[in-house]
Structure 1
């Protein structure tokens, strides 16, 4: 599939998370994002160097500013299971607004056309690093990184588009 781009409607897919009782819950991305302005942040993996030190923290730090500019939801998607995503979320005690959702088998990364094979590093199929600004399911801004870069998909870059 061709990579998602500005003007496209995001594909539907099911992502997972743990509720407060540690039960796995599932959410349809279309039901979650319909009639909303949503930032979808995609990362190759929880606890990976760029993801934990820069990419995700950049959104946590200015999440209230993003919301003041009309963003209803900020979600972080990674090709990990919901238990890992829950544990990763707990490493950010200051996080009140970014939701961590699991794409355990990379099905949603594949549907977006943003999967990457990192098998040579022992990671298997993962998601490219990206940030999408989606309004009522339609992509308004798409910032997709190439390789191991972290240059265009930070919160500071996406806020300029609002």
Structure 2
């Protein structure tokens, strides 16, 4: 689907379930994410999940999704593009910068620690892909032996309402979903 094109080449793509103005909590009803953590933290929290309203209500959030932890573009470009811009996001009043992938929270925790990004970015797992499916941001990557995953995307969300959504044409692309692009759209 075509969308709005920005001067820097980024394109905001609209999907049936989520577009500018969409309430992300309503678009993904009854969906929760799992904050990155160790197994022991998961056990001690009784495997608690985080409802979307707790993530987005009364906050300015930059959230980005990617195909998977420990994969090439995700590790070498996508997450670092947000980590290096964290001070600029905070200067623009962003409350949280969030990375989400169709992985369990334990893998997300190990990956976040390996990237040394836990002080800058909040990491969440979408273990069953329900968040991405609800927003029509899922992609079958079985051909790459990954199964159902997330597309590569970014969004600026204010009080639960999507203000900007950028989705890459293919998951291996890194043209419109990086930290510098969304920073310029806030």
Q: TM-score range by the shorter chain?
A: over 0.9
Separation in structure 2 between the aligned mates of residue 39 and residue 68 of structure 1, nearest angstrom? 13
Task: Measure the CA separation in 2 of the matches of 1:113 and 1:18.
Answer: 23
Kindly report the root-mean-square deviation, in angstroms, between the aligned alpha carbons of the 2 structures. 1.5
Alignment of 1:1-162 (within 5 A): 2-10=16-24, 11-12=27-28, 13-19=31-37, 21-23=40-42, 24-147=47-170, 148-162=172-186
Q: Distance in 2 between matches of 1:37 and 1:9?
A: 13
Deviations 1:21-66 (A, max 9, x none): 5224310112211011001110000011110000011101111210
Structure 1 runs, 4 residues or longer, greater than 6 Å off? none
| Number of aligned residues | 162
Shift of 1:97: 2.2
Secondary structure of the 1:57 match is helix
* Native 8 Å contact 1:79 1:127 kept in 2: yes
Q: Which has the larger radius of gyration?
A: 2
Shift of residue 95, structure 1, vs aligned partner? 4.0
CA change 1:122–1:19 in 2 (3 A) is: closer
Q: Give the Cα separation in 1 of the matches to 2:136 and 2:155.
A: 13
Deviation at 1:17, TM superposition (A): 2.2
Q: TM-score, length-normalised on structure 1?
A: 0.94
Deviation at 1:19, TM superposition (A): 4.5
SS in 1 for 2:41: coil
Query: Would the alpha carbon gap of residues 60 and 6 (structure 1) be closer, same or farther in structure 2, given more than 3 Å must change?
Result: same
Q: Which runs of 5+ in 1 are unaligned?
A: none
Counting strand residues as a fraction of each chain, which structure ranks higher? 1
